Amino acid sequence: MKDNSYASVMARKNEIMKKAVGIDYSKYEIEGIAFDYEKMMDEVGYSLEEVIKIQSETSVGNTPLVELKQINRLVKTISPKSKGARIFLKDEGANPSGSFKDRRAAVSVYEAQKRGYKGVIAATSGNYGAAVASQAAKRGLKCIIVQETFDSRGKGQPEIVEKARACEAYGAEVIQLSVGPELFYYFLLLLEETGYFNASLYTPFGIAGVETLGSELNQQMIEKTGKSPDYVVVTNAGGGNLTGTTRGLQKTGADDTKIIAASVDLSGLHMASDTDFNRKSFTTGHTGFGIPFATFPDRSDVPRNAARALRYMDRYLIVTQGETFYVTELLSQLEGMQRGPAGNTSLCAAISLAKELDENETIVVQETEYTGAGKCPSAQLTFARENGIVVRTGDPKENNPGSEIVLPESPEQLHYTEMEMEKIKTSYIKQAVKKYGKKDFSETELAFMAKDLKLAKETVQEIIALLN
C-alpha cells in the first residue's frame, strides 16, 4: 500500500507526472534555470500541418474572422481625426465546446489516445475542462475534470458552476474542491490511481495546438486586407494563449505583428485566499494568473512550462472588470454576438488601443468564447453584489478590485493601464534569484533568461547587478 498522505504524494509528484504526461523533461535540462525550450517544442513530433489535420478530425479550428463594422464605426466617432484602427475578431466560440481551448485539448487528447491511455485528467476551473471533456468524448476516452470551485462557505462562482455543467454534459466526471492546496494533491492522487493522461494546459502538445490559431488568423487577414495584422491582442492568464498564437503567427511570416497582452486588473486579491476567491467575480484572464505566470512560468503542474509569455509579448495592457462587462454588452448589442467575458477582455483593450492608432492600421482580437447562464454579466454582477461588492456606473478608473465594480457610462470612458514591461521582466529575474537561491548565473543561464525575457544578455546582467 502506498502512503497517500499529503507529504508523501507531493514527494512523488515528479514520478507521477512523468508517467502521466509521457515526457521525460530531464533530457531538456541544461543548467539551473536553463533548459532547451525549442528542442522540447520540436519534439512534440507534429508539424503545423499535422496539427491542423488532427484538429480537423474533431471539427476544431477553421473558425471565422469577423470585422467588427459597427464597433469600428463607434471607435471612429470617439477617436481623433485620422485615428481609429480597424478591429477584427477571431470567433473561437465556433469551436465544438465554444473556446480556443479546443485547439489545446485536441492535440493532448489525440496524444493520449495514440499512447494507449484509457482516459484523461485536467485540473481547471475554466473553459479548458469543457474542451478536454468534449475532445475525450470524440476520441472515446474517459475524462475527469478537477475544479477549484468553492470557498469555505460552499459558495461557487456562477461561471465555474456553468463550466462544470458543460463538462458533465460531455460525459466527464467533475470533482469539485474548495480553494487551497488540496487541488494539486487530489490531482496527483487521481493521476496515480487511474493511470490516465495528464492533459495539462502547459505541455508542448497544448501550445502546439494553439499555434494553428495564430497561423489561421494571419492567413485570413492577408486574404481580407492584403497583409498581416499590425496588432494582435490576446487575453492573458497562464500564457499559453499568447505563446501558441504568436508562434503560429511567426510560422506563417507575421514577424512584424505586435503582440499585446490584456488582463483584467485584480490587483490586491490573492487567488489562493479563501476570502478573496469569490471577490474576483469572474475567472477570465486576469492579473492574478497573468502576472505570476509571466514572472515565473515554471510554477505550473509540469516541470517545464511550454507557455512562456514574456518571450513573445510586446506590451501588457490592463483593463477593469466593469469595462469588460460593458464591452460584453457592447459586442452583443452592436454586433449581434453574445460571447463570454474572456475574449471581451482583449476586445476591451483593443477598443482603447484603436483610438490611438492610425485608421489604416489593423487589430485582431484573437478569441471569443461561448456564453451561458453562469457566464453572462447579469449572473456575475448578481454574484458580486451577494458578496458585498458595490456595483455602480461611473468612471471605471474608480474601480477597486474586490470592493467596487464600476461600469462605464459611455464608450469614451474605456481605457487601459499600461504595465511597465521593465518591471515585469525585473520581477522575473527576482523570482529566479529567489527560486534558485543564487545571485550569480552562468553564461548559459544568462543566455536562456535573455531569450525568455526578449532582452539582450547584457541587459539581463545589468538588472541582476542592480538587484544584487
Give residue-wise pLDDT tens across range 259-305.
Answer: 999 999 999 888 778 888 888 877 779 999 999 999 999 998 899 99
Q: Say which DSSP state 189 is in.
A: H
Nearest to 296 by CA among 314, 283, 308, 311: 308
What was the pLDDT predicted at 111? 96
How far is residue 460 CA from its own chain's centroid? 26
* pTM above threshold 0.85: yes
Which domains are assigned to the chain?
Answer: 6-21+99-203 (3.40.50.1100), 53-96+205-418 (3.40.50.1100), 430-467 (no CATH)
SS3 labels along 312-326: CCCEEEEECHHHHHH
pLDDT digits (tens, 9 = 90+) for 410-425: 999 999 999 999 999 9
pLDDT digits (tens, 9 = 90+) for 166-210: 999 999 999 999 888 788 899 999 999 999 999 999 999 999 999
pLDDT at 451 over 90: yes
Q: Are 103 and 210 in contact (CB under 8 A)?
A: yes
pLDDT at 91 over 80: yes
The residue type found at 117 is Y
Q: Say which DSSP state 44 is in.
A: T
Tell me the pLDDT band of 2, cut-offs 50, 70 and 90: confident
What was the pLDDT predicted at 459? 97
Q: Where are the beta strands (DSSP E) in 142-279?
A: 142-150, 173-178, 197-198, 231-235, 258-264
Task: Tell me the pLDDT of the chain averaged across its residues.
Answer: 95
> How many residues are listed for the chain in this entry?
468
CA separation, residue 394 to residues 51, 334, 398, 410 (Å): 46, 21, 8, 9
Alpha-carbon distance of 46 to 384, in angstroms, equals 44
3-state secondary structure of 43: coil
Tell me the pLDDT band of 330, cut-offs 50, 70 and 90: very high
pLDDT digits (tens, 9 = 90+) for 208-264: 999 999 999 999 999 999 999 999 999 999 999 999 999 999 999 999 999 999 999
Mean pLDDT of 6-18: 91
Write the burial class of residue 125 (CB in 10 Å: 0-12 exposed, 13-18 middle, 19+ buried).
Answer: buried
Alpha-carbon distance of 161 to 333, in angstroms, equals 26
Mean pLDDT of 413-439: 95
